[in-house]
């Protein structure tokens, strides 16, 4: 009985293997994932803000590649000026969980947060004219007092805690508050530096010399050790295939789903759509005011 069972199992396995070959299931794919736009915690949609790179979008694309047994390596086609520091960190955390080789192919500009999410890839490929680097952090505190005066807006502020209104945008920061804010900025800057140290296998002293916030061309970045190779997408695909031990890779391009106009409007909801239309009629001053008041805390950014 055991012998019959073994024979049946063997035949089944042979049939499955034959079916896999006949159906073209060959484990030699390189997945190309396009990451284009500023880095934000939430995607703003293609209709009212253009492409963005959000942790949710990146997670969905990576899950697809991780769960596909035919995909042996991943190429990230990155085009980004950077953005939210927290979102950049979340995206990098997701990339570090992927066990398949990852190669970054840089486009025109891959700066600040764009470089942050690229730094720990197995290989980075940049075009000679790519602008990259911009390793640093910026935290902007608006002071709307002059605008309030111009618009005739008066405010009365009540706080519990002496620094509670420091980011309300209604006054200048005190010397003590400027120190507090600089300490926050320095800490997030140090986090960026450590990512580059670990990802690029450079000394901290060397990275700090490079981390002035300035941009580098692809040629300069290669000389400085910030990227590995010069070339385009094909070069990145070849590198990814080599890392995965693939001689003749099959390329699969992951394309984001573009929602229809109706889906976008339904997703926004009538009230939100009404708010968008109202914002468009506010003018520059009104938009600045609304944006500041709707985001009461400063957002450290790798941009």
Q: What is the model's pLDDT at position 170?
A: 72
Asked whether the predicted pLDDT for residue 209 surpasses 70, the reply is yes
Q: What is the model's pLDDT at position 223?
A: 98
pTM for the full predicted model: 0.80
What pLDDT, in 10s, does the model give residues 213-231?
999 999 999 999 999 999 9
Q: What is the model's pLDDT at position 216?
A: 98
Share of the chain above pLDDT 70, in %: 72
Asked whether the CA dihedral 233, 235, 238, 242 is positive or negative, the reply is negative
84 close to 116: Cβ distance less than 8 angstroms: no
Q: Domain segments of the chain: what residues?
A: 27-302
Q: From CA 241, how far away is CA 302, in angstroms rounded?
A: 31
150 labelled catalytic: no
262 compared with 122, residue with greater pLDDT: 122
List the one residue out of 79, 70, 74 whose CA is nearest residue 109.
79
List the one residue out of 6, 29, 25, 28 whose CA is nearest residue 17.
25
What mean pLDDT, rounded, does the chain reach? Answer: 82
Q: What is the model's pLDDT at position 281?
A: 53
Options 3.30.450.20, 3.40.50.150, 3.90.226.10, 3.40.50.10190; CATH of 27-302: 3.90.226.10
DSSP state of 164: T
Average pLDDT rounded to a whole number, residues 17-44: 75
Q: Which of 54, 84, 88, 112 is catalytic?
A: 112
Q: Which of 56, 150, 162, 164 is catalytic?
A: 164
164 labelled catalytic: yes
What pLDDT, in 10s, does the model give residues 33-75?
999 999 998 764 444 446 899 999 999 999 999 999 999 999 9
């Amino acid at each position: 009985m055991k012998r019959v069972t073994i024979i049946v199992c063997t035949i089944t396995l042979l049939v499955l293997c034959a079916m896999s070959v006949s159906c073209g299931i060959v484990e030699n794919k390189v997945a190309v994932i396009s990451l284009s736009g500023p880095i934000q915690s939430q995607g703003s949609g293609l209709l009212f803000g253009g492409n963005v790179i959000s942790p949710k979008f990146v997670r969905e694309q990576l899950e697809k590649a991780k769960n596909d047994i035919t995909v042996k390596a991943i190429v990230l086609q990155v085009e980004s000026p950077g953005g939210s520091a927290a979102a950049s960190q979340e995206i990098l955390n997701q990339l570090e969980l992927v066990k398949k080789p990852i190669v970054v192919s840089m486009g025109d500009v891959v700066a600040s947060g764009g470089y942050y999410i690229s730094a720990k890839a197995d290989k980075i490929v940049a075009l000679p004219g790519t602008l990259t680097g911009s390793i640093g952090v910026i935290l902007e505190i608006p002071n709307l007092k002059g605008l309030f005066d111009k618009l005739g807006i008066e405010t009365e502020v009540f706080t519990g805690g002496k620094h509670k209104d420091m980011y309300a945008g209604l006054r200048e920061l005190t010397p003590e508050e400027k120190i507090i804010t600089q300490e926050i900025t320095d800490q997030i800057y140090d986090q960026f530096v450590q990512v580059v140290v670990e990802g690029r296998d450079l000394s901290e002293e060397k990275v700090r010399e490079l981390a002035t916030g300035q941009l580098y061309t692809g040629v300069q970045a290669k000389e400085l050790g910030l990227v590995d190779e010069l070339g385009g997408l094909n070069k990145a695909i070849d590198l990814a295939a080599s890392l995965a031990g693939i001689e003749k890779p099959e390329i699969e391009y992951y394309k984001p789903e573009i929602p229809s106009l109706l889906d976008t409007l339904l997703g926004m909801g009538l009230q939100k759509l009404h708010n968008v239309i109202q914002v468009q009629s506010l003018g520059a001053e009104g938009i600045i005011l609304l944006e500041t008041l709707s985001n009461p805390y400063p957002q450290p950014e790798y941009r």
